[in-house]
Amino acid sequence: MNTLDVSIVTPNGEAYSAENASMVVLDTTGGQLGIMANHVPMVASLKIGPLKVVFPDGREESLAISKGFVETHKDKITVIVQTAELDKDIDVERAKRAKQRAEERLQKKEDSLDVRRAQLALARAMARLKVAEK
């Protein structure tokens, strides 16, 4: 079976790496994408959301990622994002509080900048909760 190597990079350095993955599933701005070995080389922009790495033995690792980019090559995927958190590292209670704060700010709708920040905070919190609750 053909496999690929996965690297997730943030401004603080490499946040995650894996060898011999069978597939990576992530959300691009064009929709959800599953990438396997020998995928056509490409670059795509990413949305805030979950990223799943699937291995040949059926094991999966999930991360919550921020916006960024993915670059694919024949046997390698590089993801460049601001933040990436493994499911086991997510503080669920903190994410729930962040979600609640963002929802409260969205209800106030005081100015467009605050609304956009609240929308992004809500998206990040929802991604963390989705990844952590699996």
Q: What is the CATH number of the domain that holds 68?
A: 2.60.15.10
Are 20 and 77 part of one and the same domain?
A: yes
The number of distinct structural domains making up the chain is 2
Are 8 and 62 part of one and the same domain?
A: yes
pLDDT band at 63 (very low <50, low <70, confident <90, very high): very high
Are 126 and 82 part of one and the same domain?
A: no
C-alpha–C-alpha distance, residues 71 and 35, integer Å: 11
Residue in the structure block whose two tokens are 């994410």? 95
C-alpha–C-alpha distance, residues 129 and 102, integer Å: 14
pLDDT digits (tens, 9 = 90+) for 67-96: 999 999 989 999 999 999 998 998 889 999
- Cβ-proximal residues to 75 (8 Å cutoff; 6+ apart), any chain: 2, 3, 4, 5, 37, 38
**Domain extent for 82:** 4-87
